[in-house]
Structure formats: C-alpha cells, structure tokens
Amino acid sequence: MLRYYKPLTVTVSEQDAGKEVRTVLERRLGVSRKLLSQVKLTEHGLTLNEERVYTTAKVSAGDIIRVRMEREQSDDILPQDLPLDILFEDEDLLVVNKPAGVIVHPTHGHYTGTLANGVVYHWLQRGEKVRFRPVHRLDEETSGVVAIAKTGYVHQQLSEQMQRGEVDKRYLAYVYGAPPAPTGVVDEPIDRDPESPHIRIVTPTGYPSLTRYEAVKHFGGGPGEAAATLVKLKLETGRTHQIRVHMKHLGCPLIGDKMYGADANEITAWEDCVNRQALHAASLGFVHPLTGEKMEFHAPLPPELTALEALLKQHSKHASNVRFWT
C-alpha cells in the first residue's frame, strides 16, 4: 500500500519568484499552515525540486514544489459490512446518500452501525488506507447527501468553501401548518438552551443563523389553511439542528420531530407513518478542490417520505407542483 497520496504540485511562476514556499502554496493552492506543519515532518512531505525543504525556503521561477500527504487510517473505527448508497467516489472524495436512522460518526454508546463503520469497511475492501473525514454531518434521523473527504487537504478546502457560503445545501421537509409567506428567510440566532444544553433555541445572544425557505406544496388546504406543507430549504449557515429550530420558530415544526416537533395532540397518523423527522438533504453542490469542477449531487426521497406524502395527499384539497430554485 502506498505511503503517500498523489502529491499536490506547483510550478513557481515569475510572479512568485523570491517568495517563500509556504507563501506560494497558500496563494496558489490555499494550503493551510496547519497542513504544512504536518507534511513537513515526513521525509518527502514537502520538497522543492525533489529535495526536502523548509516552508521558509525562497523559490525561483520554474521550481517545482510538491506536497505529499501521508495516508492515514481510522484505526479507532471498527470496519463493518454495511450497505452504502454511493453517489460518487474518486481518490479524493466520497459522496453517499445516508439513510435515516444511521449516525454519521461513532459516539459514546454508538460504536458500530454508523456511516463511518460502513465507509471504513468499503475502503479496506478496495485496498485503500483512508481516514474518515466527513465534511459535514446530518442528524441521525435525517436522510440524504453526505460528503466525506479522503485527504486532509480536500477536507480543509471543502470546509473553507462551507465557511465562505459557497457550498449549496438544499433540503426538503414536511412540516405542520404553513409558513407565513410562500418564500422567505429565517434570520434568527441559535444557541444551546441553558436549561437543556442538548437542545437548541432561537435566542438574541446566539450565533448568526440563516435559512431560506420556499413552500412548494400544501396539503389539506391552501396557503393560509394548510394542515401540512412540503418546504424546500437552503442553508446559508450550518448550526446544529438549524432547520428544525427555525421551522419550529415559524410555527411549522417538522412532522415526526421528537425533539422540536408538534404537541402530542397533533395528527398522530402522520407521525406513525414517517417514524422519524421528515427532513431530507436532497442536494449538495460544491467545487471539487483538485479538479476545479463544479459538482452537484442529488438524493431521491426515501420510501418513508414518499409514503408520508401519499398519506398527506389524502388530506389535500389542492397541491401545487414542486418547484426547484434556479
């Protein structure tokens, strides 16, 4: 098994002549200081014209800088032969459609049966030594698209795209009632509930949180009288439980949400049908950090949500066609 991943390579331009290696790598590839501090410790981690070099070394036009990252492995994650719905994979990135009821990463009391267990097994079967690095996470009961970086550099680059708001994350949710307007923005700060730290709430002292929504189908009435609504959502920030908290704040809690859901006297047949929060990460778009290709992945509605929609239609007087943002 190879020790290093395929190197990141930069040919020094006239414009970069006389600059330090780290400056060139930061400007040309966006390589972080943290990553450079790791690779420079290995024999061939950082080279200038195939000679080991310090990050402060000065370069000349035409020089070749190479960054080689050592292959890592998640030795603390038990490999398990679990079903995976793989949407895309290359040597740098894995994108999967996660089913509801599966935790992304092992936690205390949940060491097996997670997405990580299945992915690590998958890589071992392919003869790949890779560390499990999810770029983002979904709640256990949320289904849909999850991106997993296979190198530290790809993880860093995608994380920075997310921080800059360049990752397009879109969700579908079935909620009680209807939002106050057909389209809108929920711009309300979120933080932990001081009395129940595992719960998030809207609070003036919280972290900035912004969710865009569009009501695309009403069930059991029109916009002002709907018993339930299919809502399409786009996250501009990525706070824990953001969609669930913001929808509850609008007075439209998610169907099946045990933590932020409707009161016990709501329509229980819908709850029994879905048996989890009715939230699905329908699509994910970003730029591939190495190829520069704009990529977009879609995950179809899982069976339990199509069954919920069928049940909701029994209550519907009129339902608009689903529209997707452009």
Q: Locate tokens 């169907």: which residue?
A: 255
Q: How many CB atoms lie within 10 A of CB 312?
A: 26
The C-alpha atoms of residue 287 and residue 299 are separated, in whole angstroms, by: 18
Distance of CA 272 to the CA centre of its chain: 28
- Verify whether residue 263 is a known catalytic residue: no
Instruction: Give the integer Cα–Cα distance in Å for 117 and 84.
Output: 11
- Identify which of 79, 86, 77, 68 has the alpha carbon closest to the alpha carbon of residue 152: 68
What are residue 197's phi and psi, to 5 degrees? -60, -20
Max Cα–Cα distance, the chain, nearest Å: 73
Instruction: State the sign of the Cα–Cα–Cα–Cα dihedral 223, 239, 35, 13.
Output: positive
- Total Cβ atoms within 10 A of residue 322: 12
Q: Determine contact, residues 177/56, Cβ cutoff 8 Å.
A: no
- Write down the residue that tokens 């360049």 correspond to: 166
Tokens linked to 202: 């809207």
Report whether 94 contacts 86 (CB < 8 A).
yes
Q: Which of 63, 92, 139, 257 is catalytic?
A: 139
87 and 95 Cβ atoms separated by less than 8 Å: yes
Give the other-Cβ count within 10 Å of 15's Cβ: 10
Q: Six-digit token pair at 152? A: 């530290």
Taking the CA atoms of the chain, what radius of gyration do you get in angstroms?
23
SS3 sequence, 65-85?
EEECCECCCCCCCCCCCCCCC
List active site positions: 139
